[in-house]
Copies of this chain bind each other. A is one copy, B any other.
Amino acid sequence: MCNYTVGTNSYIDDSSEIGSGTVIRNNVIIENNVKLGKDVYVDNNAVIKSGTVLGDGCRIGTGCLLNESPFIVDAGKKLQIGNSAIIRSGTVIYGNSRIGDYFQTGHNVTIRENTHMGDNVSVGTYSDVQGYCEIGDYVRMHSNVHVGQKTIIEGFNWIYPFVCFTNDPTPPSEVCVGARICKYAVVATGSVVLPGVIVSEDSLIAAGAIVNKDVDKYCIVAGNPAKVIGDVRNIKNRETGLSNYPWRYYFDRNMPWESVGFEEWEKSNRRCMNTGDND
């Protein structure tokens, strides 16, 4: 009946359901009404709070803290994470969030409440998602990314270390307008995107840019304050002399169009959607 493994000094509340093949290591705390899928691995000292639901094959690192709501009574809170997540040590995820499949975090990540994430999202070490954010599929955030409340990151975005998305145009104030990062846009190291700024599809924000105006499709912006310095389609690889952008046509590692190419993948996607729409 109990076909899962538990180390020493761990506590699992009787009301929680643990899938078969799951391994719970030492000094783990699993509170009430938790549901773990099959073949989940929970490493030493992790704390999984009441109302957490994890899919099959998830791996929870040492000292992680799931469905945290520090010192706030919130009986109904729920944290739902899909299948095959890899959540590295020291990560804290608050409640009332829903995260898709193949989620990954680095170490010591913080993700606050009311955040929705699609599939294949990864959030790097020390990154800090402040809550009330919408993050689409295949968003890749590197280390130390700071995502202010109400930021929207549409999907297939690359966000590099020390990037900050802000939300208060006249701090401090009661206004909160997040930035919107449209599909396929790339935001390089150390740049700051100011409140309400729209970063359009396929654009590129250079390292250290302070972006206080909307960025058009294909534009490269750089500097403080950021100015348009070119078009991504003109960037050539220094060694090969070939184009690199829009990156979705030139890069496919771990993307859904891997080995097929973006165009083929998009076409077949469109076909699927049309069929679904019942033409």
Chain B residues with CB under 8 Å of A27's CB are 9, 27, 45
Chain B residues with CB under 8 Å of A65's CB are 62-63, 89
- Which of A14-28 touch B at CB < 8 Å? 26-27
Chain B residues with CB under 8 Å of A89's CB are 65, 68, 70, 92
With most chain B CB atoms within 10 A of its CB, the pick from A88, A190, A250 is: A190
**9-residue interface stretch from A115-123, A170-178, A257-265, A267-275:** A170-178
Please name the residue on chain B nearest to A127 by beta carbon.
B126
**9-residue interface stretch from A75-83, A95-103, A156-164:** A156-164
Docked CA distance A170–B245 (Å): 8
Please state if B70 and A88 are interface contacts (CB–CB under 8 Å): yes
Chain B residues with CB under 8 Å of A174's CB are 251, 253
- Which of A218-270 touch B at CB < 8 Å? 222-225, 235, 237-239, 244-245, 247, 250-251, 253
Chain B residues with CB under 8 Å of A223's CB are 224-225
A210 contacts the other chain (CB 8 A): yes
Chain B residues with CB under 8 Å of A59's CB are 70-71
Chain B residues with CB under 8 Å of A222's CB are 224-225
Please state if B172 and A166 are interface contacts (CB–CB under 8 Å): no
Please name the residue on chain B nearest to A204 by beta carbon.
B171
A143 contacts the other chain (CB 8 A): yes
| Given A171-B188, A208-B208, A208-B224: 19 more A-B contacts, CB < 8 Å | A9-B9, A29-B44, A45-B45, A45-B63, A47-B62, A59-B70, A62-B65, A90-B92, A92-B107, A108-B108, A140-B172, A146-B161, A146-B162, A160-B166, A162-B162, A172-B251, A222-B224, A222-B225, A224-B224
What is the interface of chain A, defined by CB distance below 8 A to chain B? 8-9, 11, 26-27, 29, 41, 44-45, 47, 59, 61-63, 65, 68, 70-71, 86, 88-90, 92, 106-108, 110, 125-126, 128, 130, 140, 143-144, 146, 158, 160-162, 164, 166, 169-175, 186, 188-190, 192, 194, 207-208, 210, 222-225, 235, 237-239, 244-245, 247, 250-251, 253
Name 9 A/B residue pairs within 8 A (Cβ), A-sorted: A8-B11, A26-B29, A47-B62, A68-B89, A108-B108, A144-B146, A158-B171, A161-B164, A171-B188
The 5 closest A-B pairs by CB, nearest first: A208-B210, A170-B244, A59-B71, A146-B161, A190-B192
